Structure 1
């Protein structure tokens, strides 16, 4: 999804709905995305990378807890329910499709042990994570700030910064995998 399209879909959300949507993204990362990536890394003999993905999954779990506590507070003030938007339903469909692709790639990775699908998955992960950390969380921070919720705005800023740090780790993993597949060039 393009960032401008994402922002236009987020504009109509209440702060509580935005927090609920963020929580759903973190739950997906904690329960599915990063555990699958860690398993792929382990089966490929990349234990260090698996540890990093496990650590990122753990952080997503902590983010989910913080967002849930925040949601309960906001829900009392806004009297809201979980967002029921066509955009969110589309994202859930996209997430399910990505998950089934990842599960397929785990089986392929296990059988061929080449690292190629690991690199592909890492690239998919970076696309999703960059969108969330560079567009979604900063935007939600601005929304919270515009509603006078400085504490909530700081929380989204912190989550974006932590996410960008995780993105750098994923980029490093991608570079390691890419460099392992590149033939060494003779030095002059």
Structure 2
């Protein structure tokens, strides 16, 4: 059974913080690999701020290039929208029975985790791997038997900051992998 961490996100754009956290998950020994699940539409975010899903997938591919512990997946592109984590988990479990899936989330998601569709199924059947986040609200879930806190650097960088930097014509070097920076530049992403 291959232990696979699912890192769901808009990745609008993917940045070094995402990669550092994914690497920390693999290094923790809790998972053998991390799949970046590019979400076409997060139910908690406005769709209008998102770059096209295939462009975001291309950036994830560029970011994880040559890392055999990482994989990009577009599984949610073919599912009903908005995407719900529990539906994706059930689908992936049926399609890949040789994998044991865990959901990777930031500590800041724990306080509102009860709002997720069928959150109890996610918790009981899959479990959460949680990375630290600045200013996370306290949550009793930290002590749940299916929640594992993972030691990882607290990288306080956001895709929003990167997009604003691009609009302000600032250099985003070192915030995103070079392949991602080149894609953003060559395609003119986030200029408006």
Q: Scaled by the length of structure 2, what TM-score is found?
A: 0.28
Q: Which structure has the greater CA radius of gyration?
A: 1
Give the number of the structure whose residues are more often strand, by fraction. Answer: 2
Q: Scaled by the length of structure 1, what TM-score is found?
A: 0.28
